[in-house]
Amino acid sequence: MSTKKKIGNEVSHYEHAHAVDDVVDETPELHPTVELEIQAKVDLNNFQTQGRGLTLAEEERMAAREWEIEQTRERWDRRQTSGREARTTMAVEQMSIETRREFGKRAGCVNRWADPEEADPREQISLTQLGEVNREAARLQTKLDGWSRAAISRRLAEEVADGKSMMSSVVGVFEELHQAPGRVIPIAAVSEVNRREVSISGTVTQLWESSNPAIQQVGLIEDETGRTKLTVWEKSNQPWINEGERVRIHGAAKNWYNGRVSVALTGWSTVGFPERGQWWE
C-alpha cells in the first residue's frame, strides 16, 4: 500500500480572502509641478481666457455686461456741470410736441378742431356771438367744477362755428363736460353715460352677505338722485366699506343685469372716504 501526496498551488477560501485584503495600491499620488501652478494662475488671471468653462449663454451674458460697462465709461461729457440731462429733457419735450402735432393732424380728419393748424373757433364767429359765448361760459363755470371759463368758451365757440344754435350748444356742452371721463356724476346718470367706467359719490345704505366667494361685499349705494347696486370683488384688494359710510369711487366698472345697471369695484378702481379721520370721530 502506497501513499501519494499531491502538492499544488491551491489555497483555501480563507487564505484567499486575506490575500486580497493585503494588496497595497501602489499607484503614485500626482501633484502639480511648480511650473504647472504658475501657468494655471496666469491662465486664470488672463482676460482672454475668462470665458473658458462657461456655457454659451453665460459667455454672451458676460460679453454684454462688459460691453455695457465700456459704453458707460466712454461718456464724453463727464463734467460736474454737465448739461447732458437738460439737453435730453429738451429733446424729449420737442419729440413730445412733434408727436402731439402729428396726432392732431390725423385727428383733424375726423374733427377739424383737433387740427393744430386750425384757427381758434372764437376768431371765426362774430363779435355778437363771441359775447354771448363768453356770458354762457361764465354761467356754466359755476355749475361745472374743474373746468375753466376759457375751456368752456372754446368748446361753445366750436359748436356755434359748426352752425348750431346757442341754446343747443349750451345744452350739448354742459352734458358733455358734466359727464366727462373722470368726473363724478349723479348715480341716476350712470345708465345714460356711454362708457364702461364711471365715477360716483354716495352713501352705502345697505350691505348683505353674498354666497359667492369671489365677492367681498355687495350692497346699495345712493345719492340724492337715485341708487344702484354696488359689488366689491375679492381680488380687487379694495378697503372694507362700512354700512352708512359715504364713499367716492373713481373708475367703477358699469354692468347690466336684467335691464338694471350696477357698478363694481375692480383692481383699477379707487375708493375715497371723505368723512374718515375727521376730528369729530
Mean residue pLDDT across the chain = 81
The dihedral sign for the CA sequence 65, 70, 72, 73: positive
Cα–Cα distance measured from residue 177 to residue 250, given in angstroms and rounded to the nearest whole number = 16
pLDDT for residue 6 is more than 80: no
pLDDT at residue number 104 = 86
pLDDT for residue 222 is more than 70: yes
**Whether the Cβ atoms of residue 42 and residue 34 lie closer than 8 Å to each other:** no
Cα–Cα distance measured from residue 206 to residue 229, given in angstroms and rounded to the nearest whole number = 10
pLDDT at residue number 217 = 93
Residues 6 or more apart whose CB falls under 8 angstroms from that of 157 comprise 120, 121, 122, 124, 125, 129, 130, 133
Task: Say how many Å lie between the first and final Cα of the chain, rounded.
Answer: 129
Among candidates 276, 204, 265, which has minimal Cα distance to 238?
Answer: 265
Cα–Cα distance measured from residue 241 to residue 263, given in angstroms and rounded to the nearest whole number = 15
3-class SS string, the chain: CCCCCCCCCCCCHHHHHHHHHCCCCCCCCCCCCHHHHHHHHHHHHCHHHCCCCCCHHHHHHHHHHHHHHHHHHCCCCCCCCCCHHHHHHHHHHHHHHHHHHHHHHHHCCCCHHHCCCCCCHHHCCCHHHHHHHHHHHHHHHCCCCCCCHHHHHHHHHHHHHCCCCHHHHHHHHHHHHHCCCCCECCHHHHHHCCCCEEEEEEEEEEEECCCCCCEEEEEEEECCCCEEEEEEEHHHCCCCCCCCCEEEEEEEEEEEECCEEEEEECCCCEEECCCCCCCCC
Cα–Cα distance measured from residue 144 to residue 156, given in angstroms and rounded to the nearest whole number = 14
Residue 194 banded pLDDT, cuts 50, 70, 90: confident
pLDDT at residue number 186 = 86
Residues 6 or more apart whose CB falls under 8 angstroms from that of 125 comprise 133, 157, 160, 161
The pLDDT tens digits for 79-92 are 656 677 788 889 99
Most confident of 36-45, 60-69, 257-266: 257-266
The pLDDT tens digits for 229-256 are 999 999 889 999 999 999 999 989 999 8
**Whether the Cβ atoms of residue 122 and residue 133 lie closer than 8 Å to each other:** yes
Cα–Cα distance measured from residue 260 to residue 193, given in angstroms and rounded to the nearest whole number = 14
pLDDT for residue 165 is more than 80: yes
Q: Could you tell me which residue, 28 or 224, shows the higher pLDDT?
A: 224
Grid cell digits, residue 66: 462688459
